[in-house]
Structure 1
Amino acid sequence: MTEALRPLRPLQVSRDLHEPQSSQAKPGAVSSPISTPHPLKKRAICSQCRIRKVRCDGRPNICQNCDRLGFECSFQQSPGKSPGQYVVKLPERRRRMQACIPCHSKKTRCLGELPSCSSCVRRNRACVYPRTKKHGSIASGNSLAEISGADDQATQQRAGDASPAQGVEMVGPTEGPALDHNAALDLMEAYFRHLYPLPSFAFLHKPTVLQRCRSQTINETLKLAICAVTALQLHRTSLCHDLWAQQAEQSILQQMGRPSIFNLQALLLVIRYRIESGEFPTAFMLAALAARTALALRLNYERPELSDVAQEARRRLFWALYLLDDFFCVGLREFELCPEETIHLQLPCDEDHFEAGRHVHTGVLRHDPRSSGDTTVVGLRGMSLRLTSVRRAVMRFNRKVGLGDELSSTIGESIRRFEEELGWLKAALRPNDQYSVPNLTSSKWQAQLIMLHMSWHQCHCDMYRLGLDGYSEAAPSPVLLALHPRDRTKMQLKCLEHAESIIRIVSDFLNHGDGECLLERDAAVCAFESARLVMFGSRILGAASNLDMAVGKAKLSHNLITRFFPYSASTQPLRKDLERLITSYSVRLALQTQEAFSEPDPPSARSSTKVSQYATSRQRLSVQSLLLQSDFVDDSNEIAGPTQATEIPPPSGGMQTAHVSAVPRNHPWGTAGPGNSQVPPAGLSLDARQEDAGLIFNPWMGFTGSEDMYGVSGRPLGADDEF
């Protein structure tokens, strides 16, 4: 049975809102249904409340809001004027001043004090107030006092129906200063001058991007991301780059279900912004979104039907995502975004070919150099990616050795295989890409050149440090005892030789390089690791440097980190740990102690106790690891609701045995050297002769299981082998 809908009742207009109506009916009169007030009858609203968009109580003569605020209410009738002749007078704006840009971006309370709010003063940061639509400039200090009553309503920039290629998109609230066209063009030119030479930023096509910026047809989200990361890297604190990054991120998240090349380019830049500003948890989560977006767009496959510029831009975008793994996964398989077996792309070409739009065959990531008929041309960028692949395989090999899953008899063979592959990579470099001071001074891409060769030497250090007895990242004691003393000595000397080579490159770059160019974080990692190795090995018989020389060389590495990474949150732990090590070794030098093969006491552990302890033992990350610095907390105990805390007994049987056996020699309570016994966590005491691998640690290196080892056999595993 269908219920009939009640017809809509026409709105009943009251006779006179200002005449009180009697609540008693006249005797004998029949009440009319028209005069009966309906419960849905619309309340009268005065003009002031209607303009201010607030609730009006409709009180005759003057409403409660106007009476409280002292406004002239439209219900008040001036003598001699009929109701239709009332002239509305706009109310005075009494809204409190809007928040400053730093407080708005951090979503913290701002009281709007002048010239700087109390929140920014307390946090010792620059306080900048947003641009007003009336004055068109960034307001701060006394200028805000003049415009505090001006038009400060928050607006939202809305896009039309134009295509994303024309760069018209919604970018969320714009309560801060709009990005000026000239400022945007200046920052984009600075991006290609300073950031584009770095491998992680080389995915934008310079002529196209600059042309679109000049014609103001560039994608708005991409423009905000480029300007934000450039202003941050060049430390232009007068610009509101944090707000720009937030606007770009909001726009990307709003269009998460509609992935595009432009949004992915912007997302990678936002991730780099979050990393460099110290917001590691946000960057870690956004990296997963970037990987999903790339796979949704099938960027891991070639598209020959596209133009050469479009194809190369797609390749470079995916390779930039591949390099992002080094910030978080550090070789840990479970955090990897771009497994190599899923990549079906050729390597990026040289910059001249990319800018000119010429196609060049460059080959693939893992290539057998012994194959005949090879006509590929691989430049610095392609070689850097191949070296990155080898270095990750070395990291997995080291973890396998640390877990005892690699037989002592096969360690030498695996190292020789890596040596051959690294030798092939260096031999394949063009003459002007080989390292020398003349090549360094004449190179257009100095940052690429020195980072490639520093990473090549660091890859050798990662292999050979397994033989450094007493070093925190050496092989376990049973493995060292199984190695022939001659082989162990050779590994030690080769490790120190390559560490010395890294410091020599650092010295050359400080003396002859371009002091205005930027470097990637891996350059700081290599400088840090080489300084540690040189100081540690200064007393090994046959070492090139004694302790005094080693401390001086370590200061060169510290100078590089301080000079080229002064504001980077991701490299700050490296600088602090290196300062501590230099101070400790300098004290030993002054005291002329004879203690050999030892390093200073490690800092206190920062690893979270609110994560799985088994996972912690399998993924030994350092205080320099961005994943560890994210400090994620497992709140699974909240699932069952509030319960009385009880101590969970340790697992019994085989699981407990497997867990203990998985603890490596360089675990915080592992053995400190041959003959030393393990100390349980309850009585944790770190030997001063050992540096804990989980505290001061190669930032490329985690600690994981044998299931994460692949690539050592000389070929990448296929999808069927892995899954």
Structure 2
Amino acid sequence: MLTSSFTRRLDVDVVGFADPDDSRLMTIGGSCNRIPPSWAIYLEHERFFAQPHLHYLLVDLADGGAKVRCHGGPPPCTNCQRLDFDCSFGDGGATTIPSASGSAAVEMRRGARACLECRSLKSRCTGKLPSCAACLRRGKTCTYPEPKRTPARQAEASTPAVSDTPTTTAAASIRHDAARSPTSDGGHHPLPPLRDRLHLVIDFFRHVHPLPSFAFLNEESVTQRCLEETIDEALVSAICAVSALLLGHSRYHPVATSAWAAAVETAVWANLEHPTIFKIQALLLAIQYRVLVGDFGRGFMLFSLASRSAAALRLMYERTDLSPLAQEIRRRLMWSLVMMDVGFATGLPECEVYPVETVYLRLPGPEEAFTADCDPDTDPTLLDPGLDGVAEGGLLATYVQLGKVRRDLMRLRRELQPITQPTPLLVPTIDGIVTSLDEILPRRCSAAELRRYAGSRWLARYLAVYLTWHQCHCDAYRLLLSGYKEAAPDTVVHGVPPTYVARSVASCLDHARAIIAIMHDANALSPRLRVAPPDMAICGYHAARLVLFISSSPQNPPDTGITEADALTQARSVLDIIKQQQKPGAAMDKVIIKVLGKIVHPAAAAADQAEHGRDSSGDCKLPNARFRLHDTRG
């Protein structure tokens, strides 16, 4: 039998347009740790054998009690007609349901095909229309494959009933076609069987959930719903797509994963006027998938849909009437949208959908409180740190605070670009940003702390926080690095006292070296990080560019400076680390490797330029990739 910790069910009802008080989240007593794959298989078998037998034969009870196999055709069935039996299939094989108008009746008939959901689970399908018994029992959307040779029935079915209004018929037709039409990403690919699906979900929470941009799902509730097969189909499709992509499952990526991501978008469009928390979570994962594979434009446009759905559910406001877990789910989802908005807007106010000033939420709580369904202000010493014994310690809240500083730095750089004269406000602005960074994270990364996190799942989040902290310092100080691409105009830099400029350049070099040192220490850990945060490649790219530029610049500090040979060696080591940590199928990593490779290997870049007869320094497969590389961190 299942233990009580695995049989607890977490029900989340989401706020819609009509009644905002319908959002409820039942609290759960205690916490549930990660379910190992062996437990998942055991639980699946327990769930199967606890249900009534699913595989049965359809028979006709003829006179005399003889049993004859029924082929499911229209009554009378073929065998009963051949044997001259009274066919009982017509008595119970069809069910009449009153229509919406009440003046006509629609007869549910048995189909001869298995639906796609039953095919994916390899279970017997009753074949009834519009939904089979298995899908009705599981609460799934029942979808049948398009028939190959039934033109007469299709023509008959396409004729609307007399009682149907044109509006209702058109809306139903649009949604039906949207749900059943093959996607542009390679057609329909059903989700894997439950056991493989559970492996993908468990791997997601072990390796992907620690990344700050994926920290908005609750592990226990999602895993339990997946076991019970009550999870939203769009959400589990998105989880499987992202998990298979980042963990390099060639069995599913890229054909199946792209189809799953497209299915999420189709499901959202089919219920566009009814946003839910589950649909926003699924859409946010689908957007992350699009960005990871290089479909930046599609992700950018889909984000507006996710943000509008969040506004409809008023996620930017606290809901103190909900349980702590429900509040934290809403809170984390909203902050994830805000952080994604920062990356998409890149400091352009006209591109911002959710300015930080319009979000009236507290910061995300520690992971231990999120797992235990406790108030975020609970004493951390009273909470279970998890199986690995290392507490997350509020790293996600720190990352969100750093994201706000990143937004301010990107805005500052764009405001300085058109200025043609010195501004006295630049120095106090930079000092204020540096002071806020020191308040957010008062201490630097240490090798001992890094080794402590190496034994836990929070290593990726720890690295993301400290790499971003150092990169924010670099973004602030490089404004005064005259001649650098992301620096302020020379007229502005010349108006700053030379001693302040020299200190800023030295500090910029110091933080760039710190980024490279963290990357070296993280790469030397054993076992190696399974999914590295995107910040590692992006921050490493900027650090390599900074040390190379400063080494050949007149502003190179005389005492603590760096030689060109040392800078080139460090930049090449960064490139090697990025290659080793490259995520399978991640387009941004490929762009960074290509651009940085041409910087640190100029001879190869010159040969490539001569071969193709053009400047290839900015050549890449993604549109505006260089713009994103330079602007992602301000």
TM-score, structure 2 as length reference? 0.65
Deviation by residue 1:695-718 (Cα, 9 ceiling, x = unmatched) = 9734334xxxxxxxxxxxxxxxxx
- Is residue 577 from structure 1 mapped to residue 577 from structure 2 by the alignment? no
Matched residue SS, 2:441? helix
Deviation by residue 1:538-595 (Cα, 9 ceiling, x = unmatched) = 242334431121112112221232222343113322221100110129999xxxxxxx
Q: How many residues end up aligned between the 2 structures?
A: 448
- Is residue 298 from structure 1 mapped to residue 321 from structure 2 by the alignment? no
Give yes or no for contact 1:535–1:547 (8 Å, CA) kept in 2: yes
- The gaps in structure 1 that reach 5 residues or longer are 1-83, 86-130, 139-152, 363-376, 589-600, 607-622, 630-692, 702-723
Which residue number corresponds to residue 572 of structure 2? 555
Which residue number corresponds to residue 214 of structure 1? 227
Which residue number corresponds to residue 533 of structure 2? 520
Call closer, same or farther: CA 1:219–1:412 in 2, change over 3 Å: same
Which residue number corresponds to residue 308 of structure 1? 324
CA positional deviation for 1:484: 2.3
Which residue number corresponds to residue 285 of structure 2? 269
Call closer, same or farther: CA 1:396–1:177 in 2, change over 3 Å: closer
CA positional deviation for 1:196: 0.5
1: CA distance, partners of 2:323 / 2:424 = 52
- Is residue 168 from structure 1 mapped to residue 181 from structure 2 by the alignment? no
2: CA distance, partners of 1:208 / 1:419 = 40
The one of 667, 688, 699 equivalent to 2:632 is 699
- The gaps in structure 2 that reach 5 residues or longer are 1-80, 83-113, 122-126, 144-178, 183-187, 379-391, 607-613
The one of 452, 456, 459 equivalent to 1:442 is 452
Call closer, same or farther: CA 1:317–1:583 in 2, change over 3 Å: same
CA positional deviation for 1:483: 2.2
CA positional deviation for 1:181: 0.7
Give yes or no for contact 1:467–1:480 (8 Å, CA) kept in 2: yes
Q: Which gives a bigger RCO, structure 1 or 2 (Cα 8 Å, sep 6+)?
A: 2
Matched residue SS, 1:392? helix
The one of 326, 348, 356 equivalent to 2:372 is 356
The one of 259, 266, 271 equivalent to 1:250 is 266
Matched residue SS, 2:374? coil
2: CA distance, partners of 1:156 / 1:520 = 45
2: CA distance, partners of 1:405 / 1:167 = 63
The one of 421, 424, 427 equivalent to 2:439 is 424
CA positional deviation for 1:323: 1.4
Matched residue SS, 2:477? helix
The one of 171, 183, 194 equivalent to 1:181 is 194
- Is residue 507 from structure 1 mapped to residue 440 from structure 2 by the alignment? no
1: CA distance, partners of 2:470 / 2:507 = 10
Deviation by residue 1:625-644 (Cα, 9 ceiling, x = unmatched) = x8835xxxxxxxxxxxxxxx
Which residue number corresponds to residue 191 of structure 1? 204
CA positional deviation for 1:516: 3.3
Call closer, same or farther: CA 1:356–1:185 in 2, change over 3 Å: same
Give yes or no for contact 2:208–2:243 (8 Å, CA) kept in 1: yes
Call closer, same or farther: CA 1:354–1:695 in 2, change over 3 Å: closer
Which residue number corresponds to residue 303 of structure 2? 287
Alignment of 1:63-102 (within 5 A): none
- Is residue 546 from structure 1 mapped to residue 563 from structure 2 by the alignment? yes
2: CA distance, partners of 1:161 / 1:196 = 30
Which residue number corresponds to residue 415 of structure 2? 400
From the CA coordinates, give the structure whose radius of gyration is larger: 1
Give yes or no for contact 1:460–1:498 (8 Å, CA) kept in 2: yes
2: CA distance, partners of 1:220 / 1:360 = 30
CA positional deviation for 1:485: 2.1
Give yes or no for contact 1:529–1:698 (8 Å, CA) kept in 2: no
1: CA distance, partners of 2:420 / 2:526 = 43
Deviation by residue 1:488-547 (Cα, 9 ceiling, x = unmatched) = 222211111111111111111111265233233232211100000011112423344311
Deviation by residue 1:658-700 (Cα, 9 ceiling, x = unmatched) = xxxxxxxxxxxxxxxxxxxxxxxxxxxxxxxxxxx96973433
2: CA distance, partners of 1:232 / 1:283 = 16
1: CA distance, partners of 2:257 / 2:324 = 33
Letter in 1 for 2:548: M
2: CA distance, partners of 1:159 / 1:339 = 47
Deviation by residue 1:252-282 (Cα, 9 ceiling, x = unmatched) = 1101111011111100111111111222221
CA positional deviation for 1:605: 6.4
Call closer, same or farther: CA 1:182–1:543 in 2, change over 3 Å: same
Which residue number corresponds to residue 463 of structure 1? 476
Matched residue SS, 2:587? coil
Matched residue SS, 2:318? coil
Letter in 2 for 1:247: A
Give yes or no for contact 1:353–1:359 (8 Å, CA) kept in 2: yes
Give yes or no for contact 2:367–2:393 (8 Å, CA) kept in 1: no
Matched residue SS, 1:512? coil
2: CA distance, partners of 1:297 / 1:256 = 13
2: CA distance, partners of 1:522 / 1:284 = 19
Alignment of 1:574-613 (within 5 A): 574-584=592-602, 603=616
Deviation by residue 1:330-386 (Cα, 9 ceiling, x = unmatched) = 121111121112101111111111110001249xxxxxxxxxxxxxx9711101111
CA positional deviation for 1:402: 2.0
2: CA distance, partners of 1:272 / 1:387 = 20
Which residue number corresponds to residue 383 of structure 1? 398
Give yes or no for contact 1:158–1:169 (8 Å, CA) kept in 2: no
- Is residue 628 from structure 1 mapped to residue 600 from structure 2 by the alignment? no
Deviation by residue 1:288-314 (Cα, 9 ceiling, x = unmatched) = 000000010011111111111111111
CA positional deviation for 1:137: 8.3
TM-score, structure 1 as length reference? 0.57
Matched residue SS, 2:424? helix
Give yes or no for contact 1:170–1:251 (8 Å, CA) kept in 2: no
Letter in 1 for 2:568: V
The one of 314, 317, 334 equivalent to 2:350 is 334
2: CA distance, partners of 1:602 / 1:497 = 32
Give yes or no for contact 2:237–2:260 (8 Å, CA) kept in 1: yes
Give yes or no for contact 2:467–2:539 (8 Å, CA) kept in 1: yes
Q: Percent identity?
A: 33
Deviation by residue 1:467-500 (Cα, 9 ceiling, x = unmatched) = 2222222221212222222222222111111111
Which residue number corresponds to residue 7 of structure 2? none
- Between 313-322 and 534-543, report the one with greater CA deviation: 534-543
Call closer, same or farther: CA 1:190–1:478 in 2, change over 3 Å: same
Alignment of 1:530-545 (within 5 A): 530-539=543-552, 540=556, 541-545=558-562
CA positional deviation for 1:225: 1.0
